[in-house]
Amino acid sequence: RAKDGSKNQFCFFTPQMGAESIKQMQLETELRKTIGTDRYELYYQPKVDTATRQICGVEALLRWKDADGNIQPPYEIIPILEHSGMIIEVGEHQIQSACQQLKEWQQKESPLNFALNISARQLLNSNLVETVRQAIAENGCDPQRLELEITESVIMADVTTALDKLQQLENLGVKIAIDDFGTGYSSLAYLSRFPIHILKVDREFVKDLPWNKDNITITRSIVELAHNLGMSVVAEGVETMAQEQFLANLGVEEFQGFHFGRPVPVAEFDRLYLNAPYPLHLTEKTF
């Protein structure tokens, strides 16, 4: 029987299937086989404190190595992981490593925060709260340093469940961020009702700052809205000095983007940012 739903654990090839779907199934099989191995890797992208220009945390971004050793980006694999439900198990491993990493950083004089992306399936249909609670307890890490990023669509998919889960997560002390804010179809009403601590302005709006009048208006409004609701703001996709300066003037709390650093493997992250006298002051050479 061909795969017809997300619950099926096994896939079979049928003569009707095109080459493309066979390829997808082989990929799915391999993704499943390699869960828990180092074929899955989290790359770290630095997040920078606007006021001090010091690195204050990372966003962890998933990469997967195929059999030939090629690194596959999230858009190739996340939809498959999400659709098949494998994202739940992959996510459990990620939460473990996030808490281990936090613990390790806490032993330094200036610990970093760790942001992790959480998909709909993970928040709404898994035991995420318990997974997070256990990982924090086992590793003895500070929950305040763990940021879980969800998109507006995750909340809108099931407002009641999302509210319940987010409240439980907030009770654990972790921070909730809305990712890609402004691009989804969401109701502003939930923003004040939900335990949300951080808004991440989508790259789409940051892209042509400080010249595009509409994006200036949108970004300024998002920052004002967030601050009036007691949330802090992260600007994603910051690529230029002009963007940095403009966003700093708007009062954005944190930057993330190629201007400060690309997502890199952990060893590379340590080499680039942590082996310098800790914590690193960004210098021109890191840009």
Which residues sit at the interface with ligand C2E, rule CB under 6 A? 45, 61-62, 73-74, 78, 87, 94, 117-119, 149, 179-180, 203, 236-239, 256-258, 263
Question: Residue ranges of the alpha helices (H) in the chain?
Answer: 19-33, 74-84, 86-106, 120-124, 128-139, 152-157, 159-172, 188-193, 203-206, 213-228, 241-250, 266-269
Report the partner that residue 244 touches, choosing among ligand C2E, Mg ion, none (CB closer than 5 to 8 A by kind).
Answer: none
Nearer Cβ to ligand C2E (94/139): 94
| Minimum distance of ligand C2E from residue 279's CB (angstroms) | 20
x/- site string to Mg ion, residues 172 to 191, per CB under 5 A? -------xx-----------
Instruction: For residue 20, give the DSSP letter.
Output: H
Nearer Cβ to Mg ion (25/156): 156
Nearer Cβ to Mg ion (180/253): 180
Report yes or no: 273 and 48 within 8 Å, Cβ to Cβ. no
Instruction: Return d(Cα 287, Cα 237) in angstroms, integer.
Output: 14
Which residues are bridge partners to 150 per DSSP? 178
Cβ neighbours, 10 Å, residue 172: 14
| Minimum distance of ligand C2E from residue 145's CB (angstroms) | 18
| Minimum distance of ligand C2E from residue 149's CB (angstroms) | 6
x/- site string to Mg ion, residues 128 to 167, per CB under 5 A? ---------------------x------------------
CA-wise closest residue to 151 among 204, 199, 203: 199
Instruction: Return d(Cα 9, Cα 84) in angstroms, integer.
Output: 8
Residues that bind Mg ion (CB under 5 A): 117, 149, 179-180, 236
